[in-house]
């Protein structure tokens, strides 16, 4: 198990940038950065990650894994499992995972993960950056159909309960979650995420691959049984996703047999903007 050291900030460019700086200063494994605001949050593939002060949870963890290169990307899958479990512990919401790094609720993205690897004096370090939409009630127009938050999902459930049971019966439904969401500096979700990560990461490190987590991951995987389009660095692959294998690759059934995808972008038909 990793011993954590939490480092709290008010405002930073990106928690992954702070992690890089701390790695250069030889911080120990288990250093966790979290902040109330990111002014230059980063997503995958050079995209920006939009944060609103106090609304989005932004946190990064420093690891020094001694794994073969091909297993490093599995850490993103371990993180996605952890966030999904933590959101369920925190709010009872049932989320799914879109391979490799999105956590999804009601077919919209609630969390993104950016795992980066750097080398300092020959030592390999991995930064696991997690962003969760927690209190956001509104999103920029271009994200409205694609993004959601814990607050919006819990409020929608409460509204549905009121519709079904009538005004008198909804008093306590989800009230404790909404109360927690209203509190400033409530770090419960942060601790839940990293506690769950410690448990899943331990299973991953002990087996050296995803063997102990494949079944659980595939149960949560939104891609399974759906038409997907994978754009890996070389080609575009269309097919039906079957699930991940022990290497954390996404296995796709195509008209010409099975293909394993280890990196690249995967879109799921009917989710976000892929509707073809």
Of 27, 26, 52, the residue nearest 39 (C-alpha)? 52
Residues 151 and 134: beta-carbon distance below 8 Å: yes
User: Assign residue 92 a region: left if phi > 0, alpha if psi is -120 to 50, beta otherwise?
Assistant: left
- In the complex with ligand BTN, the residue whose CB is nearer, 190 or 228, is 190
**15 binds ligand BTN, rule: CB under 6 A:** yes
Cα torsion 139, 144, 147, 150 to 10°: value is 60
Is the separation of the CB atoms in 134 and 189 below 8 Å? yes
**Size of residue set near ligand BTN by CB under 6 A:** 19
6 or 173: CB nearest ligand BTN: 6
Q: Alpha carbon of 12 to those of 7, 15, 140, 198, 207: distances in Å?
A: 12, 7, 22, 25, 36
Q: For tokens 């911080």, name the residue.
A: 27
> With respect to ligand BTN, which residue has the nearer C-beta, 31 or 209?
31
Q: Taking CB under 6 A as the rule, does residue 114 contact ligand BTN?
A: yes
Burial of 69 (0-12, 13-18, 19+ CB in 10 A): exposed
The site string for ligand BTN over 130-159 (x = CB under 6 A, - otherwise) reads: xx----------------------------
Establish if 112 lies at the interface with ligand BTN (CB under 6 A). Answer: yes
Using rule CB under 6 A, residue 44 touches ligand BTN:
yes
Q: Which stretch, 41-49, 86-94, 216-224, 246-254, contacts ligand BTN (CB under 6 A)?
A: 41-49
Q: Which of 21, 28, 39, 47 binds ligand BTN (CB under 6 A)?
A: 47
Return the residue of 2, 23, 58, 251 that touches ligand BTN, per CB under 6 A.
Answer: 58
Place of tokens 């009917």: 270
Structure tokens at 255: 């008209």
Nearer to ligand BTN (CB atom), residue 59 or residue 91: 59
CB-based burial of residue 206 (10 Å sphere; 0-12 exposed, 13-18 middle, 19+ buried)?
A: exposed
H/E run at residue 260: strand 257-261
Residue 275 CB, shortest distance to ligand BTN, in Å, is 20
Q: How far is the CB of 147 from ligand BTN (least distance, A)?
A: 10
Nearest residue (CB) to ligand BTN, 16 versus 174: 16
Q: How far is the CB of 22 from ligand BTN (least distance, A)?
A: 13
Q: What is the DSSP string of 27-89?
A: PPTTEEEEEEEESS-B-GGG-B----TTTEEEEEEEE-----HHHHTHHHHHHHHHHHHHHHH
Q: Smallest distance, Å, CB 202 to ligand BTN?
A: 23
Counting contacts by CB under 6 A, is residue 53 touching ligand BTN?
A: no
Q: Which of 22, 27, 42, 90 lies at the binding interface for ligand BTN (CB under 6 A)?
A: 42
Residues that bind ligand BTN (CB under 6 A): 14-16, 38, 41-44, 47, 49, 58-60, 112-114, 129-131
């Amino acid at each position: 198990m990793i011993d954590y050291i939490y480092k709290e900030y008010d405002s930073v460019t990106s928690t992954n940038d702070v992690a890089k700086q701390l790695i250069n200063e030889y911080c120990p494994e288990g250093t966790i950065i979290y902040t109330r605001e990111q002014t230059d949050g980063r997503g995958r593939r050079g995209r920006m990650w939009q944060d609103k002060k106090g609304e989005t949870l932004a946190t990064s963890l420093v690891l020094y894994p001694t794994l073969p290169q091909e297993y490093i990307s599995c850490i993103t899958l371990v993180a996605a499992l952890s966030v999904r479990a933590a959101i369920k512990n925190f709010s009872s919401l049932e989320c799914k995972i879109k391979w490799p790094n999105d956590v999804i609720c009601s077919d919209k993205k609630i969390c993104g993960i950016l795992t980066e690897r750097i080398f300092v004096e020959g030592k390999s370090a991995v930064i696991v950056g997690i962003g969760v939409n927690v209190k956001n009630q509104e999103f920029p127009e271009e994200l409205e159909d694609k993004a959601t938050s814990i607050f919006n999902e819990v409020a929608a459930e409460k509204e549905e309960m009121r519709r079904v049971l009538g005004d008198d019966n909804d008093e306590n439904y989800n009230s404790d979650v909404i109360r927690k969401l209203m509190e400033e500096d409530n770090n419960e979700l942060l601790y839940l995420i990293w506690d769950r990560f410690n448990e899943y990461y331990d299973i991953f490190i002990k087996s050296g691959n995803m063997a102990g987590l494949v079944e659980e991951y595939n149960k949560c995987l939104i891609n399974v049984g759906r038409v997907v389009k994978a754009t890996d660095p070389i080609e575009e692959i269309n097919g039906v996703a079957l699930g991940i294998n022990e290497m954390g690759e996404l296995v796709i059934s195509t008209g010409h047999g099975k293909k394993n995808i280890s990196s690249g972008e995967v879109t799921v038909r009917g989710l976000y903007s892929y509707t073809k």
